[in-house]
Amino acid sequence: MRTWMWVLLTGACTGLGVTAATVVWPIGNNIEKITQVGDVDRGAYLARASGCIACHTNTEAGGAPLAGGAPLKTDFGTFYPPNLTTDPEFGMGSWTVEQFAKAVRQGISPSGDPYYPTFTYSFYANFTNQDIADLWAAFQTVPAVNESALPHDTAFPFDQRWGLKLWRAAFLAPTNVEPVPSKSDAWNRGKLLVRGAAHCAACHTPRNIAGARISSKRFAGNALLPVGGKAPSILPDDLEAEGWSVDDLAYALRSGVTPSGDVFGGSMAEVVQFGTRFLFDDDLKAMATYIMDSDI
């Protein structure tokens, strides 16, 4: 599983020149000034839809909101989602909105380092300046927690952040949320949410040995979720064969109850509990409309 990354990264390490070049290699694009006035409610809604609160809060351990999440086990190590409260020392209290935008849309820290893709930033690349301003306004309302999240537990070479620059160059691709004019407004809204904020593909698309999603197999299911368990295919034909309709899907994303009367288990139960059950009816219907017709 890890062999390929070892070859790539240790190969790069042995060539010191290459290493040095990679370490100083600048990444990302400049962020224009964000002048939009944020809307706290809209930001809180988007934070729910995007899983920010779910990942960055350790609910099970009774952690304060956004003060740091439960450990995420992956093939490359265990990651601890950091403190995103207004604390200036351990949270984002001393950040600017532009630094926040760069972290969320581009996966790059205020000091210019790349973030691990365990942070689902690639799905947020299309957030508008208004989306960012809204999220930022909502995050400003979060009480400061003066506590650091645990450091990630990764072994060499995965503890070398600069190596992620190679990963980005090889695998980082923008999410396609372009509207399709021949489709309904609901379908297009659904596409924006499902392919973007709600990041359904993070679990429902299989990954290659370097942990990157295989885009030609989008939504075809992932039999080896790092968190354990298996995410089934959510391709329209497979869902139809299992008896799902648009209404069933919208209902399941609200309630966690499937057409056969079962309830979602594993990480899908959490997707509903911390995310989709808070969404407006119209948005759930839109997401279901897109998923049941996501072939293009």
Binding site for ligand HEC (CB under 6 A): 47, 50-52, 55-56, 72, 79, 81-82, 84, 100, 103-104, 109, 115-116, 118-120, 124, 135, 194, 198-200, 202-204, 225, 229, 231-232, 234, 239, 242, 249, 258, 264-268, 271, 276, 287, 291
Q: Write down the least CB distance from residue 152 to ligand HEC, Å.
A: 6
Residues belonging to the chain? 296
Q: Write down the least CB distance from residue 129 to ligand HEC, Å.
A: 14
Q: Write down the least CB distance from residue 55 to ligand HEC, Å.
A: 3
How far apart are alpha carbons 98 and 214 in whole angstroms? 31
Q: Write down the least CB distance from residue 290 to ligand HEC, Å.
A: 9
Closest CA to 28 of 165, 180, 186, 199: 165
Q: Select 21 or 263, whichever has its Cβ closest to ligand HEC.
A: 263
How far apart are alpha carbons 172 and 122 in whole angstroms? 7
Question: Are the C-beta atoms of 179 and 272 separated by less than 8 Å?
Answer: no
Q: Write down the least CB distance from residue 32 to ligand HEC, Å.
A: 18
Q: Select 8 or 225, whichever has its Cβ closest to ligand HEC.
A: 225
Q: Select 19 or 110, whichever has its Cβ closest to ligand HEC.
A: 110
Place of tokens 């207004």: 86
Cis peptide before 157 (omega within 30 of 0): yes
Q: Select 52 or 220, whichever has its Cβ closest to ligand HEC.
A: 52
How far apart are alpha carbons 4 and 8 in whole angstroms? 6
Q: Write down the least CB distance from residue 196 to ligand HEC, Å.
A: 10
Closest CA to 266 of 220, 225, 294, 217: 225
Quick one: tokens of 261?
């009367």
Question: Are the C-beta atoms of 40 and 141 separated by less than 8 Å?
Answer: yes
Question: Are the C-beta atoms of 252 and 163 separated by less than 8 Å?
Answer: no
Q: Select 12 or 84, whichever has its Cβ closest to ligand HEC.
A: 84
Q: Select 12 or 124, whichever has its Cβ closest to ligand HEC.
A: 124
Region class of 144: left (phi > 0), else alpha (psi between -120 and 50), else beta: beta
Q: Select 109 or 130, whichever has its Cβ closest to ligand HEC.
A: 109
Q: Write down the least CB distance from residue 8 to ligand HEC, Å.
A: 18
